[in-house]
Amino acid sequence: MRDVAIVSVSQSDHVRALPERNEVEMVQPIIEGAFRNLGASISDIDFVCSGSSDYLAGQAFSFVMTLDAVGAFPPIVESHVEMDGAWALYEAWVKIQTGHADTALVYGYSKASPGDLPRVMSRQLDPYYQAPLWPDSVAIAGLQARAMIESGKITEAEMAAVAHRSREAARGNPHAQLQGSAPVEELLAAPYLSDPLRRHDCPPITDGGVAVILAAGDRARSWVDRPAWIRGIDHRVDSHNLGARDLTVAPSVALAAAKAGVANGKVDVAEVYAPFSHQEKIVVDALGLGDDVVVNPSGGALAANPVMGAGLIRLGEVAQRIMDGTADRGVGHATAGPCLQQNLVCVLEGEG
Protein backbone atom coordinates (compact mmCIF):
# COMPACT_ATOMS: atom_id res chain seq x y z
CA MET A 1 0.00 0.00 0.00
CA ARG A 2 1.15 3.52 -0.73
CA ASP A 3 1.29 6.02 2.11
CA VAL A 4 -1.32 8.68 1.39
CA ALA A 5 -2.02 11.71 3.55
CA ILE A 6 -4.39 14.62 3.88
CA VAL A 7 -2.18 17.71 3.56
CA SER A 8 -4.68 20.55 3.23
CA VAL A 9 -8.18 21.24 4.56
CA SER A 10 -10.37 24.22 3.70
CA GLN A 11 -13.94 24.87 4.81
CA SER A 12 -16.54 27.51 4.26
CA ASP A 13 -18.11 29.40 7.11
CA HIS A 14 -21.31 27.41 7.24
CA VAL A 15 -24.61 29.29 7.09
CA ARG A 16 -28.32 28.52 6.95
CA ALA A 17 -28.67 30.00 3.48
CA LEU A 18 -26.42 31.67 0.95
CA PRO A 19 -29.01 32.86 -1.55
CA GLU A 20 -26.86 35.53 -3.19
CA ARG A 21 -24.33 33.04 -4.56
CA ASN A 22 -24.76 30.07 -6.87
CA GLU A 23 -23.00 26.80 -6.15
CA VAL A 24 -19.81 27.52 -8.06
CA GLU A 25 -19.56 30.95 -6.46
CA MET A 26 -19.93 29.25 -3.07
CA VAL A 27 -17.42 26.48 -3.76
CA GLN A 28 -14.64 28.47 -5.45
CA PRO A 29 -13.30 30.18 -2.30
CA ILE A 30 -13.22 26.80 -0.53
CA ILE A 31 -11.13 25.19 -3.28
CA GLU A 32 -8.91 28.24 -3.59
CA GLY A 33 -8.32 27.99 0.16
CA ALA A 34 -7.16 24.38 -0.12
CA PHE A 35 -4.64 25.43 -2.75
CA ARG A 36 -3.55 28.51 -0.81
CA ASN A 37 -2.67 26.41 2.26
CA LEU A 38 0.06 24.74 0.18
CA GLY A 39 0.94 27.45 -2.31
CA ALA A 40 -0.30 24.95 -4.89
CA SER A 41 -2.46 25.14 -7.98
CA ILE A 42 -4.50 22.78 -10.14
CA SER A 43 -1.35 22.00 -12.12
CA ASP A 44 -0.03 20.21 -9.01
CA ILE A 45 -3.11 17.95 -8.88
CA ASP A 46 -3.33 14.62 -10.71
CA PHE A 47 -6.96 13.76 -9.88
CA VAL A 48 -10.07 15.67 -8.85
CA CYS A 49 -13.10 14.07 -7.21
CA SER A 50 -16.17 15.74 -5.75
CA GLY A 51 -19.27 14.73 -3.84
CA SER A 52 -22.61 16.49 -4.16
CA SER A 53 -26.24 15.82 -5.02
CA ASP A 54 -28.42 17.13 -7.82
CA TYR A 55 -31.43 16.65 -5.54
CA LEU A 56 -30.06 19.33 -3.24
CA ALA A 57 -29.27 21.73 -6.05
CA GLY A 58 -32.49 21.06 -7.92
CA GLN A 59 -30.44 20.93 -11.12
CA ALA A 60 -29.31 18.03 -13.24
CA PHE A 61 -25.54 17.51 -13.43
CA SER A 62 -25.04 20.43 -11.07
CA PHE A 63 -21.52 19.25 -10.19
CA VAL A 64 -20.39 19.99 -13.73
CA MET A 65 -20.95 23.67 -13.12
CA THR A 66 -18.97 23.69 -9.90
CA LEU A 67 -16.04 22.26 -11.85
CA ASP A 68 -15.64 25.79 -13.19
CA ALA A 69 -14.08 26.55 -9.80
CA VAL A 70 -11.33 23.98 -10.32
CA GLY A 71 -9.70 25.41 -13.41
CA ALA A 72 -10.32 22.39 -15.61
CA PHE A 73 -8.27 23.56 -18.58
CA PRO A 74 -6.22 21.98 -20.04
CA PRO A 75 -8.58 19.05 -19.40
CA ILE A 76 -8.14 17.32 -16.03
CA VAL A 77 -8.75 13.81 -14.75
CA GLU A 78 -11.97 14.15 -12.82
CA SER A 79 -14.71 12.12 -11.18
CA HIS A 80 -17.78 12.71 -9.06
CA VAL A 81 -19.83 10.74 -6.56
CA GLU A 82 -23.46 11.43 -5.77
CA MET A 83 -22.45 10.94 -2.16
CA ASP A 84 -20.73 12.67 0.70
CA GLY A 85 -17.27 13.96 -0.16
CA ALA A 86 -15.81 11.33 2.20
CA TRP A 87 -16.58 8.76 -0.50
CA ALA A 88 -15.00 11.03 -3.08
CA LEU A 89 -11.90 10.94 -0.86
CA TYR A 90 -12.10 7.15 -0.83
CA GLU A 91 -12.17 7.10 -4.64
CA ALA A 92 -9.19 9.46 -4.75
CA TRP A 93 -7.33 7.27 -2.25
CA VAL A 94 -7.95 4.24 -4.45
CA LYS A 95 -6.80 6.20 -7.50
CA ILE A 96 -3.55 7.05 -5.74
CA GLN A 97 -3.14 3.42 -4.59
CA THR A 98 -3.35 2.28 -8.20
CA GLY A 99 -0.44 4.55 -9.06
CA HIS A 100 -2.46 6.61 -11.53
CA ALA A 101 -2.12 9.71 -9.34
CA ASP A 102 0.18 11.06 -6.65
CA THR A 103 -2.03 13.99 -5.63
CA ALA A 104 -5.75 14.64 -5.52
CA LEU A 105 -8.19 17.45 -4.83
CA VAL A 106 -11.38 16.28 -3.12
CA TYR A 107 -14.37 18.42 -2.25
CA GLY A 108 -17.93 18.04 -1.06
CA TYR A 109 -20.62 20.64 -0.66
CA SER A 110 -24.29 21.34 -0.52
CA LYS A 111 -26.47 24.29 -1.09
CA ALA A 112 -29.50 22.80 0.62
CA SER A 113 -31.33 26.09 1.08
CA PRO A 114 -33.19 26.23 -2.28
CA GLY A 115 -35.15 23.05 -1.50
CA ASP A 116 -37.07 21.52 1.37
CA LEU A 117 -34.29 19.35 2.78
CA PRO A 118 -36.30 16.91 4.93
CA ARG A 119 -38.50 16.15 1.92
CA VAL A 120 -35.56 16.04 -0.48
CA MET A 121 -33.90 13.44 1.75
CA SER A 122 -36.97 11.22 1.45
CA ARG A 123 -36.06 10.66 -2.21
CA GLN A 124 -33.16 8.40 -1.16
CA LEU A 125 -35.57 5.83 0.24
CA ASP A 126 -36.84 2.68 -1.44
CA PRO A 127 -38.75 3.93 -4.50
CA TYR A 128 -41.65 1.44 -4.32
CA TYR A 129 -42.61 1.15 -0.66
CA GLN A 130 -41.13 4.05 1.27
CA ALA A 131 -40.46 7.05 -0.97
CA PRO A 132 -44.11 7.26 -2.18
CA LEU A 133 -45.13 7.90 1.43
CA TRP A 134 -42.82 10.95 1.68
CA PRO A 135 -41.50 10.30 5.17
CA ASP A 136 -39.24 13.24 5.96
CA SER A 137 -35.72 12.73 7.26
CA VAL A 138 -36.54 13.97 10.76
CA ALA A 139 -39.40 11.49 11.10
CA ILE A 140 -37.17 8.66 9.87
CA ALA A 141 -34.52 9.61 12.42
CA GLY A 142 -37.28 9.73 15.02
CA LEU A 143 -38.02 6.05 14.42
CA GLN A 144 -34.42 5.29 15.28
CA ALA A 145 -34.41 7.52 18.35
CA ARG A 146 -37.60 5.85 19.60
CA ALA A 147 -36.03 2.42 19.16
CA MET A 148 -32.98 3.60 21.11
CA ILE A 149 -35.04 4.99 23.98
CA GLU A 150 -37.41 2.04 24.21
CA SER A 151 -34.51 -0.41 24.32
CA GLY A 152 -32.89 1.51 27.14
CA LYS A 153 -29.83 2.49 25.17
CA ILE A 154 -30.29 6.22 25.58
CA THR A 155 -32.50 8.77 27.29
CA GLU A 156 -33.85 12.07 26.08
CA ALA A 157 -31.63 13.75 28.67
CA GLU A 158 -28.55 11.99 27.28
CA MET A 159 -29.53 13.07 23.78
CA ALA A 160 -29.88 16.66 24.96
CA ALA A 161 -26.47 16.38 26.62
CA VAL A 162 -24.91 15.39 23.29
CA ALA A 163 -26.53 18.39 21.58
CA HIS A 164 -25.42 20.70 24.40
CA ARG A 165 -21.84 19.42 24.43
CA SER A 166 -21.57 19.60 20.63
CA ARG A 167 -22.78 23.16 20.27
CA GLU A 168 -20.75 24.35 23.24
CA ALA A 169 -17.66 22.79 21.62
CA ALA A 170 -18.55 24.63 18.42
CA ARG A 171 -17.78 27.92 20.18
CA GLY A 172 -14.17 27.11 19.31
CA ASN A 173 -14.98 26.39 15.67
CA PRO A 174 -15.03 29.57 13.57
CA HIS A 175 -16.74 27.72 10.69
CA ALA A 176 -19.66 26.42 12.78
CA GLN A 177 -23.18 27.54 12.04
CA LEU A 178 -24.57 26.99 15.55
CA GLN A 179 -22.32 27.98 18.45
CA GLY A 180 -23.37 27.59 22.06
CA SER A 181 -26.39 25.91 23.60
CA ALA A 182 -28.99 26.49 26.25
CA PRO A 183 -28.58 24.29 29.35
CA VAL A 184 -29.81 20.70 29.12
CA GLU A 185 -32.81 21.33 31.42
CA GLU A 186 -33.93 24.16 29.17
CA LEU A 187 -33.52 22.00 26.06
CA LEU A 188 -35.67 19.29 27.58
CA ALA A 189 -38.45 21.79 28.30
CA ALA A 190 -38.81 22.56 24.57
CA PRO A 191 -41.65 21.02 22.54
CA TYR A 192 -41.09 18.02 20.30
CA LEU A 193 -40.43 18.40 16.60
CA SER A 194 -40.94 14.74 15.70
CA ASP A 195 -41.45 12.99 19.02
CA PRO A 196 -39.03 11.89 20.56
CA LEU A 197 -36.82 14.39 18.68
CA ARG A 198 -36.75 18.01 19.73
CA ARG A 199 -35.25 20.75 17.64
CA HIS A 200 -31.91 20.54 19.47
CA ASP A 201 -31.63 16.83 18.55
CA CYS A 202 -31.60 17.71 14.85
CA PRO A 203 -28.82 19.16 12.72
CA PRO A 204 -29.19 22.60 11.20
CA ILE A 205 -29.84 22.97 7.49
CA THR A 206 -26.64 24.30 6.00
CA ASP A 207 -25.14 25.82 2.89
CA GLY A 208 -21.41 25.17 2.77
CA GLY A 209 -18.62 22.84 1.79
CA VAL A 210 -15.12 21.55 2.30
CA ALA A 211 -12.08 20.79 0.17
CA VAL A 212 -9.06 18.67 1.02
CA ILE A 213 -5.89 17.78 -0.83
CA LEU A 214 -4.37 14.30 -0.70
CA ALA A 215 -0.78 13.45 -1.53
CA ALA A 216 1.34 10.32 -1.53
CA GLY A 217 4.65 9.73 0.26
CA ASP A 218 7.37 12.32 -0.26
CA ARG A 219 4.99 14.59 -2.16
CA ALA A 220 3.00 14.94 1.05
CA ARG A 221 6.16 15.54 3.12
CA SER A 222 7.31 18.23 0.70
CA TRP A 223 4.09 20.15 1.23
CA VAL A 224 3.62 19.99 5.00
CA ASP A 225 5.75 19.18 8.05
CA ARG A 226 3.26 16.76 9.52
CA PRO A 227 0.93 15.10 7.01
CA ALA A 228 -2.15 13.31 8.33
CA TRP A 229 -1.49 9.81 7.03
CA ILE A 230 -4.41 7.58 6.14
CA ARG A 231 -3.56 4.35 8.01
CA GLY A 232 -6.83 2.64 7.23
CA ILE A 233 -10.03 3.44 5.35
CA ASP A 234 -13.10 1.30 4.70
CA HIS A 235 -16.79 1.73 3.95
CA ARG A 236 -19.70 -0.67 4.43
CA VAL A 237 -23.48 -0.68 4.06
CA ASP A 238 -26.41 -1.99 6.02
CA SER A 239 -29.72 -2.81 4.35
CA HIS A 240 -31.62 0.08 2.87
CA ASN A 241 -34.78 -1.58 4.17
CA LEU A 242 -35.44 0.18 7.45
CA GLY A 243 -37.76 -2.61 8.58
CA ALA A 244 -35.04 -5.22 8.09
CA ARG A 245 -32.55 -3.55 10.41
CA ASP A 246 -32.07 -3.22 14.14
CA LEU A 247 -31.97 0.56 14.06
CA THR A 248 -30.25 0.77 17.45
CA VAL A 249 -26.95 -0.56 16.13
CA ALA A 250 -24.75 0.06 13.11
CA PRO A 251 -22.98 -3.18 12.12
CA SER A 252 -21.54 -1.46 9.05
CA VAL A 253 -19.72 1.02 11.29
CA ALA A 254 -18.26 -1.79 13.39
CA LEU A 255 -17.12 -3.71 10.33
CA ALA A 256 -15.60 -0.67 8.66
CA ALA A 257 -13.86 0.20 11.93
CA ALA A 258 -12.39 -3.29 12.16
CA LYS A 259 -11.20 -3.18 8.55
CA ALA A 260 -9.74 0.30 8.99
CA GLY A 261 -7.88 -0.78 12.13
CA VAL A 262 -9.38 1.64 14.64
CA ALA A 263 -8.38 -0.63 17.53
CA ASN A 264 -4.76 -0.93 16.43
CA GLY A 265 -3.66 2.03 18.54
CA LYS A 266 -4.70 4.75 20.92
CA VAL A 267 -7.33 7.14 19.55
CA ASP A 268 -6.84 10.76 20.63
CA VAL A 269 -9.75 12.30 18.79
CA ALA A 270 -12.79 11.15 16.83
CA GLU A 271 -15.00 13.15 14.56
CA VAL A 272 -18.18 11.24 13.80
CA TYR A 273 -20.94 12.21 11.41
CA ALA A 274 -24.00 11.73 13.59
CA PRO A 275 -26.46 14.31 12.36
CA PHE A 276 -29.06 13.46 15.02
CA SER A 277 -28.12 13.53 18.69
CA HIS A 278 -29.03 9.91 19.44
CA GLN A 279 -26.83 8.66 16.58
CA GLU A 280 -23.52 9.69 18.19
CA LYS A 281 -23.81 6.90 20.76
CA ILE A 282 -24.53 4.30 18.07
CA VAL A 283 -21.46 5.33 16.10
CA VAL A 284 -19.12 5.73 19.06
CA ASP A 285 -20.12 2.32 20.43
CA ALA A 286 -19.68 0.67 17.03
CA LEU A 287 -16.26 2.29 16.64
CA GLY A 288 -15.32 0.80 20.00
CA LEU A 289 -14.10 4.11 21.39
CA GLY A 290 -13.43 4.49 25.09
CA ASP A 291 -14.40 7.32 27.38
CA ASP A 292 -10.96 8.88 27.02
CA VAL A 293 -11.52 9.77 23.35
CA VAL A 294 -12.46 13.35 22.57
CA VAL A 295 -15.52 13.14 20.32
CA ASN A 296 -16.50 15.91 17.90
CA PRO A 297 -14.42 18.79 19.27
CA SER A 298 -15.55 20.76 16.22
CA GLY A 299 -19.17 20.47 17.29
CA GLY A 300 -19.93 17.89 14.64
CA ALA A 301 -22.93 17.89 12.34
CA LEU A 302 -25.16 19.25 15.11
CA ALA A 303 -23.24 22.52 14.73
CA ALA A 304 -23.07 22.56 10.91
CA ASN A 305 -24.44 20.01 8.48
CA PRO A 306 -23.67 20.74 4.85
CA VAL A 307 -25.02 17.47 3.44
CA MET A 308 -22.50 15.80 1.11
CA GLY A 309 -19.73 17.75 2.82
CA ALA A 310 -20.25 17.03 6.51
CA GLY A 311 -18.64 13.58 6.34
CA LEU A 312 -15.55 14.84 4.57
CA ILE A 313 -15.40 17.67 7.11
CA ARG A 314 -15.13 15.05 9.87
CA LEU A 315 -12.03 13.58 8.19
CA GLY A 316 -10.71 17.09 7.64
CA GLU A 317 -11.20 18.07 11.28
CA VAL A 318 -9.19 15.05 12.43
CA ALA A 319 -6.51 15.70 9.80
CA GLN A 320 -6.23 19.34 10.86
CA ARG A 321 -5.58 18.32 14.46
CA ILE A 322 -2.88 15.89 13.37
CA MET A 323 -1.25 18.42 11.07
CA ASP A 324 -1.15 21.06 13.82
CA GLY A 325 0.21 18.54 16.33
CA THR A 326 -2.69 18.57 18.81
CA ALA A 327 -3.42 14.90 18.07
CA ASP A 328 -1.30 11.94 17.05
CA ARG A 329 -3.99 9.49 15.94
CA GLY A 330 -7.65 9.98 15.20
CA VAL A 331 -10.72 8.52 13.58
CA GLY A 332 -12.95 10.23 11.05
CA HIS A 333 -16.39 8.80 10.30
CA ALA A 334 -18.88 9.63 7.59
CA THR A 335 -22.41 8.38 7.05
CA ALA A 336 -24.95 8.36 4.28
CA GLY A 337 -28.46 7.08 3.80
CA PRO A 338 -31.25 6.98 6.38
CA CYS A 339 -30.50 6.04 10.00
CA LEU A 340 -26.74 5.55 9.55
CA GLN A 341 -27.23 3.06 6.71
CA GLN A 342 -23.87 3.48 4.99
CA ASN A 343 -20.67 4.26 6.80
CA LEU A 344 -17.04 5.11 6.12
CA VAL A 345 -14.28 4.98 8.71
CA CYS A 346 -10.85 6.50 8.25
CA VAL A 347 -7.90 6.23 10.65
CA LEU A 348 -5.47 9.14 10.44
CA GLU A 349 -2.06 9.34 12.08
CA GLY A 350 0.87 11.71 12.36
CA GLU A 351 4.55 10.75 12.22
CA GLY A 352 7.03 11.23 15.06
Establish if 292 lies at the interface with other proteins (CB under 8 A): no
Tell me the closest approach of the beta carbon of residue 3 to other proteins, in angstroms.
Answer: 28
Comparing CB distances to other proteins, the nearer of 115 and 288 is 115
DSSP-derived 3-state class of residue 4: strand
From the list 22-30, 81-89, 172-180, 240-248, the region that binds other proteins by CB under 8 A is: 22-30
Residues β-bridged to residue 108: 51, 210
- Report the alpha-carbon distance of residue 336 to residue 237 in Å, rounded: 9
Which x/- pattern over 60-99 shows residues binding other proteins (rule: CB under 8 A)? -----x-xxxxxxx--------------------------
Comparing CB distances to other proteins, the nearer of 20 and 291 is 20
Q: How many residues line the site for other proteins (CB under 8 A)?
A: 33
Comparing CB distances to other proteins, the nearer of 31 and 254 is 31
Establish if 189 lies at the interface with other proteins (CB under 8 A): no
DSSP-derived 3-state class of residue 129: coil
- Report the alpha-carbon distance of residue 163 to residue 147 in Å, rounded: 19
* DSSP E strand boundaries for the chain: 4-11, 47-51, 78-81, 103-111, 192-194, 197-198, 207-216, 228-237, 269-271, 294-295, 329-336, 342-349
From the list 59-67, 138-146, 178-186, 306-314, the region that binds other proteins by CB under 8 A is: 59-67
> Pairing between strand 329-336 and 47-51?
unpaired
DSSP-derived 3-state class of residue 38: helix
Task: Tally Cβ neighbours within 10 Å of residue 136.
Answer: 16
Establish if 114 lies at the interface with other proteins (CB under 8 A): yes
Establish if 25 lies at the interface with other proteins (CB under 8 A): yes
Establish if 4 lies at the interface with other proteins (CB under 8 A): no
Given the rule CB under 8 A, which residues bind other proteins? 19-25, 28, 31-32, 42, 55, 58-59, 65, 67-73, 113-116, 119-120, 123, 127-128, 131-132
